[in-house]
Amino acid sequence: MLYSYKAINTSGTIEEGALEASDKREAARVLVTQGLKLLHLEEEKESAIKKIKRKILTRPIDDKTVALFCRQLSVLLETEPLHKILFILEEECKNNAYARVLREIRNDVEEGKPFYKALAKHDESFAKSTVSLIRAGEESGELRETLERLANYLEKIADAKEKFKGAMIYPTLLLCVTFGLIFLMFSFVIPTFATLFQSMNAELPALTKAVIELGDFVSRNGIFILLCFIFICLIFLYLLQYENFKYQLDKLMLRLPIWGDFTRHSAWQKICVTLAMLIRGGFSLDKALEATKDVSDNLVIKNFLYGASKKFTEGYSLTAAFRDFRDIPSVHFQLITAGEKSGRLEEVLLKAAEFSDKETGYILKKFESLTAPVLTLIVGGIVLLFVLSVALPIFSLTEIF
C-alpha cells in the first residue's frame, strides 16, 4: 500500500513524501527509524478509474500457484536456504508475471528483509491472512511446518473454486447457445420468412408480427444495443469501486436463495480455517481476529469481522461478539460457543470449517441439479416461440390454398 506523509526531519524543516508499506503501523515505524517526527500519515486512495485500470493490468497469482509455492518451499527448506530456493523457483518459472514476483521477493530477502514483509508488498497475490500465518511461522522458527499447513489449506480453497467453475460450465454454455440461437434467428431466419410472407400479402398472426418487428428493431439498432450493453458493464465496474454500492450488492447476494447459503458457507469456511491456523501458530485470539478480518471478499461479512475484532479487544467474549450477526451459520455459532467454553476453540473451528466445506459441495450439486432443467426449459421455450412464429403463418397459407 502507498502512504503519503508529512513530517519534521532532523534539521527541523517540514518534509512531505510517500512510501510503500504493508500497513499504516509499518509505514510509521519506517519513518520514525529515519529520524522523522510524524505530523500526518494516511493511505493514498486510488480513484475508481485507476483501480479498474490496475485490476485489468495487474495479473495476480492464483490460489493454486500460491499453494504450490508454499508446498515447494516447505519441502526445499529442509535442505536449502530461503534465498536459494527462491532463485531456483524463479529460474524454473515459465510465467513472466510470477517470475517477476519471485525475483522481487528474493531481492528483498537477500537485502535482509523478513520473508513475510517481502510477501506483503504483493498484496494482490498474497492475502493478509497468508502473510500473517507466514509471519507467525517465521517468528516462531516453524516456517517449514507453517508453509506445509498453509499449502494444505490453499489447495482446499483452490479445489473449492475449481468445483464452482465446474458447476458453472453447463449453465454458461447453455446461455451462450441460447444467445447464439437468438442471434441466428433474428439475423437470418426471421428476415427470410418475413420477406416471403410480405411477397404473398399474407395476413400474419400477432405472434409472428411481434417477432418480425422485434427482429427489425434488433437489426436496425444492433450496434446501439451492443454499445449500451458495454456502457452498462463499465458503469457497473465503476460502481463496484464504491464501498456503499458493493456493500448493498454483497448484502443482496447473501439474501438470494441457494447462492446466499453458498456465499455464507464458503466465507465462514475460510474464516474458521484461518482462525484455527493462526491460533495454532501462536497468535492470541485478538491478534488472530485482527489478521482474519480481510479473509472474506463479502463486505457485509468483512465489516462484521472488523466490528467483532473491536468488540473482542474491548473485553467481549468471542461468543458475545458473534451473537447478533445473522449471517453466521447457526451450527458455527453453536460450535464456537462450545469451543470457547471448553477451551478447544482451535479443534472446534476446524470442525466448523469441515462442515461448511461439505455444505458448499452439497449446495453446488443442488445448484447444478436446479439450473440444468430450468435453463433447458428456457431454451426450449425460446425455440418453441420461434418455431410457432414461423409455423403459424405457414399453416394459414396452406388453409387458403
From first to last of the 401 residues of the chain, give the pLDDT tens digit: 667 788 888 777 888 877 766 567 767 877 787 778 888 888 766 554 555 444 544 556 777 888 899 999 999 988 889 989 999 998 888 888 888 888 989 998 988 888 988 888 887 788 877 887 888 788 778 888 888 888 888 888 888 778 878 878 888 888 888 888 887 777 777 777 777 777 777 677 888 888 888 878 877 887 898 899 999 999 998 898 888 999 999 999 999 888 889 889 988 988 888 888 888 877 788 888 877 877 788 889 888 888 888 888 888 888 888 888 888 888 889 998 999 888 888 889 989 988 988 898 888 888 888 887 888 888 888 888 888 887 887 776 665 55
319/338 Cα distance (integer angstroms) = 9
267/305 Cα distance (integer angstroms) = 11
296/300 Cα distance (integer angstroms) = 9
2.20.28.270, 1.20.140.10, 1.20.81.30, 3.40.630.40: CATH of 58-155: 1.20.81.30
CATH number of 259-360: 1.20.81.30
Sign of the torsion angle spanned by Cα atoms 105, 110, 116, 120: negative
Compute how many other C-beta atoms are within 10 angstroms of the C-beta atom of residue 348: 22
105/66 Cα distance (integer angstroms) = 13
Q: Which of 121, 110, 109, 129 is nearest to 1 (CA)?
A: 121
259/161 Cα distance (integer angstroms) = 14
Q: C-alpha cell of 71?
A: 508446498
- The CA–CA distances, whole Å, from 91 to 71, 83, 103, 106, 116 equal 17, 12, 9, 12, 21
228/172 Cα distance (integer angstroms) = 22
Sign of the torsion angle spanned by Cα atoms 139, 140, 141, 145: negative
Does the pTM of the predicted model rise above 0.85? no
Cell numbers 453453536 label which residue?
A: 334
Q: Which helix (H) or strand (E) holds 180?
A: helix 143-184
